[in-house]
Amino acid sequence: MVVRKATSNDYRKLSYHIRNKHIDYITVSHISADIESNSLFVLEDNNTFVAMVSVVWQEEFQCCGIKRLVIFNKKNSGKGYASLLLNEVIEKGKKYSVTPWIDNTTMHHLLAKLGFHYVKTFNEIWTLWEKNA
């Protein structure tokens, strides 16, 4: 398994994966913008994309936002790949925030395991978690 920053050469393949997942909160425009801003990371196994996540600077909150985490193949869920990916992209000395849906208990458990703490629920559907790495 290798974690690396995505490049423009990855765009086509990542777009294909996202279209096949039918995820409305991750678009090909997000992928393009995140690659262009050098903020998209992929987890690869033998040249096959397993997962991706974006880490973007949020000026208004003065922290890095972890966004658009996805495991592409359902058979890879529960194998620790999200944890592996996040452990690789979180840098010491930086503040991070994540806003998973209130009903995404799997992500809540993962964030707690990684040392994030719950801050609040907002707009009735989102939760805010933070970590000072």
Digit-coded pLDDT (tens) for 60-112: 889 999 999 999 998 998 899 999 999 999 988 899 999 999 999 999 999 99
Q: For residues 68 and 35, is the Cβ–Cβ distance under 8 A?
A: no
| 3-class secondary-structure state, position 133 | coil
Q: Is 63 left (phi over 0), alpha (psi -120 to 50) or beta?
A: beta
Count other Cβ atoms within 10 Å, centred on residue 4: 12
For residues 115, 76, 23, 63, the Cα torsion angle rounded to the nearest 10 degrees is 20
Nearest Cα neighbor of 85 from 103, 102, 71, 95 is 71
Evaluate if pTM is beyond 0.85: yes
